[in-house]
Structure 1
Amino acid sequence: MLENQDIHSAILAIMEGLTREGKSPKTLKTYATSFNSFENYLKDNGIKSIDESMCLEYIYLKTGQRFSSFGCVTSDCRVDYRMRPLSLLLYYLENGHFCNKVRKTKPKFICPPSFESEYEAFCEELIYRGYRKSTIESNTQKTQLLIMYLNEQGVTSSNDITILHVECYLKTLKNYAIKYIGTFLYVFRNFFSFLYNRGYIDQDIASMLPKVRTPRNASIPYVWSKEDLQKLLGAIDREDPKGKRDYAILLIAIRLGLRIGDIRSLKLSSIDWNRKTISLIMIKTGQPIELPLLPDVGWAIIDYLQNGRPATNSECLFVRHKAPFNAFGDRNAFSRELHRYILKAGLHLPGNQQHGMHSLRSTLAGNMLDVKAPLPIISETLGHQSINTTGLYLKIDIEGLRKCAIDPEEVFAIENTL
């Protein structure tokens, strides 16, 4: 435990660290105010030393919410206002240096020895088949989850696996969407087919797995209103370095309709400032696409590069803002950031529809339909290989669909004359 003077010195060191990171004056003021309130609380109550439990009691006193640790996740800005500064303070007091939450890396998967041989062979097979990196990750991650479950259930050999084991694991996913469960079934069918064909198992479990029919594009894509988009962008703190990054990312999605995977993969060299274009190879199709660098998008990127992007050797345009400041992971869908801005903007979006990053792409298609843009132009803008794919967005054009509607009375009148 440290005395008050040590606590005050730690707070000063933290504020210096936040300043070095390039936090905006608004953010620095928020931290300073929170620290000042906490120091006054310590002084008024004669508290000479602090620990995590004492800090959690302070947070309960100020917010009325109890937490078991500082590792709890919350979307309440009132709670974050209290927790984030104290989390930094506790880390400093324990370790003696400032660290603004260095990202934790996911521990490496260690396969149980009883499944190691077939798991490694399966991973090699995925690479041999020429699967994309994201597809390989999806297969291996879901297979790892199943293997760990089987190991916990006391299964010691692949040949001891039964369809009942797989069904029991699938029941643990019952609260997830059917489409998501379908991806597990696809991977398991892939995995067990491999095991059966290689002789690791005697039963053809893949053929016993249930089939889940998930019609492609059965739902109507969500389209944001212009008012909601303005509120969403307005909720971003563009004085903050991370806010500059997030604003540019969302603006690219809204104005150019790029998939989040393609935005993640943008390189500094993807932008031709002289020709005012953005060029890249699309992750999903492997096809090249060139889009105009619209003025508002260009200025947002310039603001980020000059005033927000941390010093890093990464060639990617957008990077993480926590050490080690490298590129986003291949599975990062930017959904957490988008959800945070939705809450901050006070938007009330329908709960029965998906409104993630891909919905911003749907919104661009909807806006182009509104101005009567030809379908081939929309297809080229979105980078679709087939115009039939673009045709799915016609469901967004409600006014156009109304014009195609058939009047039942008119139909009946024609039938009666026959």
Structure 2
Amino acid sequence: MKLEKTNNTDAGLAQEPATQNAYAETSAGRGSYWQLNPVFRELIDIYRDSGKKRGLKESTIYKTSFSASSFLLAMQNRGRESLNDIDEKDVISYFIREDGRSPLSGGYRDTVASVFKSDLGSYTEPARRILAYIPVIRQRRKNIQYLKPEEADAVRNALDDPGSGLCMRDRAIGMLLFFTGIRGCDICCMKLSDLDWEKEEICIVQQKTANGLTLPMSAAVGNAIYDYVTMERPSSGETCVFLCMARPYRPLSEDGLRSAVPKIYRAAGIRQGKGDRQGTHLFRYHVASALAGNGIARPVISETLGHTAPKSLDCYLSGDIQHLREYALSIEPFPVSGEVIPL
């Protein structure tokens, strides 16, 4: 492996739109917290302080406080001035319409519930009562696109081929995505000092969780990064590994990464149809399913992907076709006409 230790040293928040419709439907808006009465506002303040003491990320505290404020404002608009005033009918009517359907997502429900699960001081007991009223909402799942084996082979071939048309930067990014499943935001924030050439490791602090993550730097990944850093990376005082191609050579942004990754798919000759997914997350699914397909234990896969909650891995393993087929039931004992299932 042709690696040398580098001598370089290190010298707002975008909110997810997942619950935007839910807030709109409650007419709470972005100023929900400031419309709350002193009692409800104090509850949110206690949750925020508790979240900080527990080490929750500011983005998590913001999102849950925002969701809970919307819920409490809806209760306040129904004439409820304290938690003790809120009954089961109030809670159910917020989450479930008269036709039995929910206009809100299961994720939004879980976000609101997480506030009432917290230690809220003198509000804890009535909060637990309200928590018991919050109905279970079925999670809405979409069919997840994943890299098929032949697509993965095409990507690997494109990354290995010097004549694929990929620049050294995009090839290094592709190698990182393909072999480690690292998040795109972590690629953008990766520092030169995060690369431990002697131990052949990449040590980063994850942007999403703020937790440390150590990844093995394989020969393929290390060589690609080395080639970029020594032969193509602009001369700059910036400490980030990946820079823009044009002056003033700022660190690569997430928008810049989103523009670079489709070039990898194009070089591989895959996913060029309308609606074909081309993001970085496909590589995380690929790494998770590849590890699972090789019998790697779930805790190891979670650690590799940098998950803090084991449950986070569930959606990634939906692409583990090899093991899912083992649970499929044969329909051979049940004759079906050719018009139903073309064979």
Q: For residue 32 of structure 2, what is the amino acid of its counterpart?
A: S
Structure 1 residue 323, shift from structure 2 partner: 1.2
Question: 1:55: which partner in 2?
Answer: none
Q: Which residue of 2 aligns with 1:390?
A: 313
Counterpart in the other structure of 1:166 = none
CA contact (8 A) 1:260 1:333 kept: no
Structure 1 366/183 Cα, relative in aligned 2: closer, same or farther at 3 Å?
same
Q: How does 1:184-263 map to 2 (within 5 A)?
A: 184-185=20-21, 189=28, 191-194=30-33, 196-197=35-36, 207=74, 211-213=103-105, 215=139, 218-224=142-148, 225-233=151-159, 243-263=167-187
Larger Rg: 1
| Structure 1 residues 395 and 345, CA gap change in structure 2 (3 angstroms) | closer
| Equivalent position to 1:337, from 260, 264, 277 | 260
| Gap change, CA 1:321 and 1:353, over 3 Å in 2 | closer
Distance in 2 between residues matched to 1:333 and 1:239, nearest whole Å: 18
SS of residue matched to 1:134: coil
Question: 1: distance between equivalents of 2:276 and 2:227?
Answer: 33
Distance 2:165 2:324 in 1: 43
Aligned to 2:302: 379
1 CA distance for matches of 2:205 and 2:146?
A: 26
The amino acid across from 2:235 in the alignment is: A
SS at match of 1:389: helix
**Which structure has more RCO (C-alpha within 8 Å, separation ≥ 6)?**
2
> Deviation of residue 221 (structure 1)?
4.5
Mapping 1:27-176, distance limit 5 Å: 133-135=12-14, 138=15
Cα distance in 2 between the residues matched to 1:190 and 1:326: 36
Residue 187 and residue 312 in structure 1: after superposition, are their counterparts in 2 closer, same or farther (change >3 A)?
farther
For 1:196, give the aligned amino acid: Q
Question: Which structure shows the higher helix fraction?
Answer: 1
Cα shift at 1:393: 2.5
Structure 2: state its 5+ residue gaps: 1-11, 38-69, 78-93, 95-101, 107-138, 335-343
* Residue 368 to residue 272, structure 1, CA distance change in 2 (3 Å): same
The answer to whether the Cα contact below 8 Å between 2:164 and 2:267 also exists between their aligned partners in 1 is no
Look up the SS of the partner of 1:290 in the other structure: strand
> Are positions 1:286 and 2:191 aligned together?
no
Q: Quote the Cα distance in structure 2 between the aligned partners of 1:349 and 1:233.
A: 17
Partners of 2:289 and 2:320 within 8 A in 1? yes
Equivalences for residues 351-366 of structure 1 within 5 A? 351=274, 354-366=277-289
Letter in 2 for 1:293: M
Match of 1:312? 236
Preserved CA contact (<8 Å) 2:172 2:225: yes
- Once the two structures are TM-superposed, the CA of residue 349 in structure 1 deviates from its matched residue by 5.4
Q: Output the CA distance in 2 between the equivalents of 1:278 and 1:216.
A: 36
Gaps of 5+ in 1: 1-132, 140-179, 199-203, 412-418
Q: Residues 409 and 294 of structure 1: is their aligned pair in 2 closer, same or farther, counting only changes over 3 Å? A: closer
Aligned to 1:403: 326
Q: TM-score, normalised by structure 2?
A: 0.57
Give the root-mean-square deviation of aligned CA atoms.
Answer: 3.5
